[in-house]
Amino acid sequence: MDKRWEVLAGSALFHAVPATALPEVLAFLQPAIISYAKGAYVATAGEPVASLGVLLTGQAQVIKETVAGDRVIMATLAAGDLFGEMAAFSRQGYWPATVVAQSDCTVAFLPPDRLLEGCAVNGQAGMQLLQNLLLIISERALLLHRKVEYLSMKSLRARIAAYLLEQQRHSGKLTFSLPHNRSELADFLQVSRTALSRELGRMRDEGLLEFYRSSVKLKNLAGLRNH
pLDDT at 203: 96
pLDDT at 9: 84
Query: From start to end of the chain, where are the E strands?
Result: 32-36, 41-43, 52-57, 60-65, 71-77, 82-83, 98-101, 105-110, 175-177, 209-212, 215-218
Distance, CA of 223 to CA of 227 (rounded, Å):
7
pLDDT at 92: 85
Tens place of pLDDT for every residue, the chain, 227 residues? Answer: 567 778 888 899 999 998 888 888 888 899 999 999 999 999 999 999 999 999 999 999 999 887 777 777 888 899 999 999 989 988 888 999 999 999 999 999 999 998 888 767 778 888 899 999 999 999 888 877 887 888 888 899 999 999 999 999 989 999 999 988 888 888 788 888 999 999 999 999 999 999 988 899 999 999 999 87
- The answer to whether the beta carbons of residues 54 and 13 sit under 8 Å apart is yes
Q: The whole model's pTM is what?
A: 0.74
pLDDT at 72: 79
Distance, CA of 13 to CA of 82 (rounded, Å):
7
Query: What contacts 120, CB < 8 A, 6 or more positions away?
Result: 126
Domains of the chain, start order: 3-143 (2.60.120.10), 153-225 (1.10.10.10)
Neighbours of 46 (CB within 10 A): 10
Neighbours of 201 (CB within 10 A): 11
* Dihedral sign, Cα of residue 151, residue 173, residue 80, residue 56: positive
pLDDT at 4: 75
